[in-house]
Amino acid sequence: MSPHPLLYSRQALDLRQVLQASLRPVSATAAARPSLIVAGATGALGSEVLRRLAGSDGFAHTHVLAHEPMSTGLAQVSIAAVRGEDIAAWPVRPLQVQTGVVMFEPPRLYHDRERALWTPQLAQLPALAQWLRRCGVQTLVLVLPHAPGRLPQALRHGLVSVDEQQVAALGFERVLLVRSAQQQPRAPGGSLPGKVAAWMLSTFKYMIPAAAQPVRPARLAEFVEVVLRVLPAGIHVVAPELLWQAVQAPHMQDVVRAWLNTGQDCPAD
């Protein structure tokens, strides 16, 4: 059973790691860096985002929302336990976080520790954003899944729902919405006619342009990290085409900087 790369159970925690972390001095540079809180650190995407952001020099500390207390394998990562699904009833935590990242990928059932992490549902987005705002978050990153080919072109570059509009009106200094194409689930096993029908319907996925196809979680996590380093104030929406172009480019930061400087998607190659 594969463990989460950064999270460990209480029994698996090495006492030497705790002692080493407690004796390690905190530099003035690290203390000046902002802190991060992550909701939905599950699935392949959540694991990659947590690994990249928590392991970078952009954040002094990372808090991960979970159903129950857990121990972590890194001194700069800790668990923020939350109880129940009524987010409005959660107490405001004095975590002093400035950046929040929210993802909606469900946990992988064969990862026991992922099931202990808290993952929001899309319907909980407004309540979660309000709670994060009360906790002091100024920069909010939302990685929003969508079905490839079903999002109209006119809506890919703006706010597409009342929930997103409510989040944008909460007063965050920066809001980044990344529209990531959702990987289509595999058809469950069944009778032979059902399998044949599922195979015939699967051929329609080739009608979706390459720029609207899902991107690899590792590259998506890299994109989020690159954007956070240069993100200016305001509301920014990443359309699927821009995300695809950025992850295909030899220098991702060039595509990101060109997009942020113009406020428009970069022209396709």
Query: Percent of the chain having pLDDT more than 70?
Result: 68
Rounded to whole angstroms, what are the CA distances from 115 to 18, 42, 44, 83, 159?
Answer: 24, 8, 13, 14, 31
Band (76; pLDDT cuts 50, 70, 90): confident
**268 inside domain:** no
Distances from the Cα of 34 to the Cαs of 68, 95, 137, 192, 235, in angstroms? 25, 11, 10, 55, 20
pLDDT digits (tens, 9 = 90+) for 96-126: 899 999 999 888 877 777 888 999 999 999 9
Q: What is the pLDDT of residue 232?
A: 95
Q: Is residue 241 part of a domain?
A: yes
What's the mean pLDDT in 59-74? Answer: 85
Task: Give the residue ranges of DSSP H helices in the chain.
Answer: 15-23, 28-32, 43-54, 112-115, 125-134, 162-168, 192-202, 217-230, 240-248, 252-262
**Which of residues 192 and 240 earns the better pLDDT score?**
240
**Inside any domain, residue 2:** no
User: What residues are paired with 100 via a beta bridge?
Assistant: 37, 140
pLDDT at 199 over 50: yes
For residue 241, the model assigns a pLDDT of 86
Q: Is the pLDDT of residue 254 over 50?
A: yes
The C-alpha angle with vertex 92 and arms to 89 and 93, in degrees rounded to 5, equals 130
Per-residue model confidence as pLDDT tens digits over 133-170:
999 999 999 998 865 545 555 455 567 788 999 999 99
pLDDT exceeds cutoff 90 at 17:
no
Domain count, the chain: 1
Q: Which domain holds residue 221?
A: 7-262
The pLDDT of 24-39, averaged and rounded, is 69
Residue 221 has pLDDT above 80, yes or no: yes
Residue 5: per-residue pLDDT: 53
What pLDDT is stored for residue 48 in this prediction? 93
Task: Report d(CA 213, CA 28) in Å as an integer.
Answer: 43
Q: What is the CATH number of the domain that holds 133?
A: 3.40.50.720
The span from the first CA to the last CA of the chain, in angstroms, equals 42
**Confidence at residue 180, expressed as pLDDT on a 0 to 100 scale:** 84
Residue 267: inside a domain: no
Q: How confident is the model at residue 11 (pLDDT cuts 50, 70, 90)?
A: very low
Q: 188 lies in a domain?
A: yes
Look at residue 191 and tell me whether its pLDDT is greater than 70: no
Domain assignment of residue 140, yes or no: yes
Cβ-based burial of 199 (10 A; exposed 0-12, middle 13-18, buried ≥19): exposed
pLDDT tens, residue by residue, 169-188? 999 999 999 988 766 555 45
